[in-house]
Amino acid sequence: MKNRSIFLAAAAASLATAAPVVCEAGAQGGLKPKALVVMLDGMRADAVENASAENIRMLRDGRWQSGYKCAWTLCANTILDAPTVSGPNHVSIATGVTFAKHGVSGNGKNVCDFAKWPSWLKRVVDARPGTKALFMFSWEWDKSICPSPDVKFLHLADDDSSRTMPEVLASPDAPDAVMWYIDRPDHAGHGFGYYPYSFEYLRAVYHSDRSIGAALKAIASRPTFAEEDWLVIVTADHGGYLKSHGMMHGQATTIPLLVSGRGVPQGRIPGTPRNYDVAPTVLKHFGVDFSGMYLDGKVVGCEVEAGTCRPLSDALAAYLPFDGGVAKNMVAGGPALEIADGKTASLQNGGLAAGCLGVSAGANGGAVLKGSENLVFENGSDFAFTVWVRMSEKEKGDPLVFSNKDWRSGKNAGLALIASKFFGEKAMRQKEPGVAFNIGLEGGGRNDLGPYGIERGEWVFYAATLDRLGVLRFYQGGRDGNLYMMSENTAGAAVSSGLPFRIGQDGTGKYRFGFSGRIDDLALWTRTLPHEDVRRIYEAGRKGVPLSELLKD
């Protein structure tokens, strides 16, 4: 690859899921419970790492204050039974229930019975008389969310609330329970684009992060801080794609969730928690019994994944660097690579080490990993692959870069990296096809994540991983230096199809559309890869360092 220059992480081992670390949720003994919940509108989960968000990352890494740790994930989801717009998700974050109960299906469609489904702020005040609660927001519609005379509502523009919130939190008479809505990322995303990040979107994230940092500084400056147990939660109502929120799955629904507190363990929250888990989590912190409230959310932040070190070479089934004109699997004893007939696939120049596999648009052939149909995946379905792809200008239909499924139906078992799939302008507000990922489910279902934009003529990084809890992550790393990520729960994934993995074709080798681009540095694991290793592989590749060098560590 040309002109890849980015920091290459020094870490050499990966983390695999082991026994979780568990704590007892709730305020620590003798300390006064306090809570700040921050709702960032339109905050993509991947922006936490790619944008300038030092205060959020400080919180995430457990570096905010001594004694405070953080349980976090970049694989949280929105509610899935209503459109990915602000209104339904704001209500769900506040109440802990989804559309099926609160009935808010869109912006301006407030039909909720808030006497039956009050906000967590109201529930805390009811359970703990004398508690002071505040909801500060910049979107006027939010004044209709769970109105209550027991909760102070304060409508201020983002700039004004950024100045006011630190003053409120530093005050001796500060509220005990605070929910704070910040609109900046969503406003910039609609105007200039969420993905690929626009300058305006990144700037909005930066200013939002500074506002959060000022609020955290104000909390820590309180004379009574040592006597208080603050629970700080940061999440979002949805993500975004181009200048819209995107589809119900993938770009729009993948959001961050961070839970910081004195009694919280440090690490990643397992699975795919939801933004409506916020309400029960805060209620638990204040010692409120919600067992009879029929909430849909659950307490998060009291369990994190533990890890054991695993080298990148562990459970590596195939590695195809295509260096020096050699087309072979570099993993001893792994599936053998066979190029069909020399016409549909050939070695060419231009990859990480001046070599790559070029695949023509013929309907048959491609390159097959013979014997890969017999691979045994950890936990029955854990997998990971990484690859660099250079899309052609000639793609037709929906050809596959890498797949082991019969692509006549996306419901068939197996997985597929789709080079060019059109999602429809109505659904995605896009006029061009995108790169997507598909996996079949047991029982004949399917899951699709995407799309990502196509950067034709550029070397672009793609990866997908699935873990034992069904967390599917799909990545793109492009010329802008950002590693984009979306995720979703994919229970019951059917990874093994009985067909071998092929490059440039589906598992049968006979799909009517063949891939006509180039691929390089392809690797397949029979286990999941942690997020940190995927990023490390991408960053190395941008510097021109192939996976083979990382495998030496």
pLDDT one-digit tens code per residue, 499-520? 999 999 999 999 999 898 999 9
pLDDT interval class at 339 (50, 70, 90) = confident
Summarised one tens digit per residue, pLDDT across range 406-430 is: 999 999 999 999 998 766 545 445 5
Quickly list H helices, 356-429.
425-428
Phi and psi at 244, nearest 5°, equal -125, 180
CATH 3.40.720.10 domain locations along the chain = 20-307
Q: What is the pLDDT of residues 252-297, one digit of tens each?
A: 999 999 999 999 999 999 999 999 999 999 999 999 999 999 999 9
If we measure between CA atoms, which residue out of 193, 181, 61 comes closest to residue 119? 181
Distance CA 59, CA 68 (A): 9
**Does residue 360 carry a pLDDT above 80?**
no
DSSP structure string for 450-499: EEE---TTSEEEEEEEE-TT-EEEEEEE-TTS-EEEEEEE-TTB----SS
Which structure tokens are listed for 224? 């009574």
Which part of the chain has CATH 2.60.120.200?
309-550
Architecture in CATH for domain 309-550: Sandwich (2.60)
Q: Is 65 exposed, middle or buried (0-12, 13-18, 19+ CB in 10 A)?
A: middle
pLDDT digits (tens, 9 = 90+) for 126-149: 999 999 999 999 999 999 888 899
* Rounded Cα distance, 320 and 523, in Å: 6
Tokens of 15: 């983390």
Question: 260 CB contacts (<8 Å, ≥6 apart)?
Answer: 59, 62, 64, 68, 69, 70, 71, 230, 231, 232, 233
**At CA 542, angle to CA 307 and CA 506, rounded to 5?**
80
Distances (CA, A) of 125 to 4, 69, 151, 177, 499: 54, 26, 8, 9, 59
Q: Average model confidence (pLDDT) for the chain?
A: 90
Which architecture does CATH list for 20-307? 3-Layer(aba) Sandwich (3.40)
Contacts of 63 (CB under 8 A, 6+ apart): none
pLDDT in tens, 199-225: 999 999 999 999 999 999 999 999 999
Q: What is the pLDDT of residue 531?
A: 97
Indicate the SS3 state at residue 360: coil
What pLDDT is stored for residue 11 in this prediction? 32
